[in-house]
Amino acid sequence: MSSFRYIICKPCEPEAMELTPIERKDYFYIFNEVPWLKLLNEVNVAETKGDKIYFSPSLEIENIYNKHGVSISIVGDIDDYEFYIFYKRPEIKKYFFGLFQKLNEKYFTGRTNQTKHDALLAIKALLDNNLELLRTKWG
């Protein structure tokens, strides 16, 4: 059984699609098979027509055991686009001079202006459980 789950969000579909977990090595294939530019074009067409847009085109992969994950979205125009990479993880936040703390199970940080190479690097770091790289580059 895979320890990762993944979700694909399409812009004009109201529900995100959580798909059957696959082998670790196949997540790179999945990223490359997402029709990123076609989905980005759907966003641009929907905006022009005034149609409802539910999501940015995105792929989310999460380790189901430690709850660390990456979410990769594409934005821009067909000729000038970039990826956003969000790093999700549980994080303890301290407050009142460190006397109190609270666990935020879905703490997100993100970076804009990312490339396809950056996205593949983030996926690799997640699959390899390289949390230090995820924190350093996207945290």
| pLDDT tens, residue by residue, 33-74 | 999 999 999 999 999 999 999 999 999 999 999 999 999 999
Identify the pLDDT of residue 57.
98
Identify the pLDDT of residue 125.
97
Three-point CA angle 125, 117, 12, nearest 5°:
95
Spatial neighbors of 23 by CB under 8 A, at least 6 apart, are: 2
Read off the pLDDT of residues 8-41 as tens digits, 9 standing for 90 and up: 999 999 999 988 887 777 888 899 999 999 999 9
Spatial neighbors of 39 by CB under 8 A, at least 6 apart, are: 10, 11, 57, 74
Read off the pLDDT of residues 94-137 as tens digits, 9 standing for 90 and up: 877 778 888 888 899 999 999 999 999 999 999 999 999 999 99
Q: Are 59 and 5 in contact (CB under 8 A)?
A: no
What is the pTM for the complete model shown?
0.88
Across the beta sheet with 80-95, what order do the strands follow? 17-19, 4-9, 58-63, 69-77, 80-95, 100-114
Report residue 2's pLDDT band, with 50, 70 and 90 as the boundaries: low
Identify the pLDDT of residue 102.
84
